[in-house]
Amino acid sequence: MFNTTGYLLYIGISVFITIFVSRTLSKNGEVYLIEGFDGNKALAKSVNHMLVVGFYLLNLGFVLIRLKTNVDIETVGILISYLSSTIGFVLLVLGCAHFFNMLVIHRVRANMKAENFRYSRAKV
């Protein structure tokens, strides 16, 4: 009875969360990327944009794959349970993906700093 309502709410809430989180990460992460890429703003903005596009693709694809339920949503309680479990799972997976991205960026940043250190010592 409430399956269609649940699906529409799930998609709407998920798209809202995706847009909000993406904008927040993009805005706050750009400064980190610029510093990590030795002040190369063009490279940092390009990488930031690619991360945003990847975030949208990953998140929205995952949300749509998780859309289907095998349970008939007949009451508001079941609807709330469906929404909280599906959205909660999506948030957990995205949180893990975010930490993985941060780890990769941290390693790239560390490698760039090590290369710059080696390069500056070789000049001396």
- pLDDT tens-digit map of 72-124: 899 999 999 999 999 998 899 888 888 887 888 788 778 877 776 666 666 65
- pLDDT tens-digit map of 32-63: 888 877 788 998 899 889 988 988 998 899 88
Give the helix, strand, coil percentages of the chain, each rounded to 5.
Answer: 85, 0, 15
Domains of the chain, residue spans: 3-123
Mean pLDDT of 2-23: 90
- pLDDT tens-digit map of 92-104: 988 888 888 788 8
Q: Output 68-71 pairs: Cβ under 8 A, ≥24 positions apart.
A: 69/3, 69/6
HSE (CB half, 13 Å, CA atoms) of 58?
16
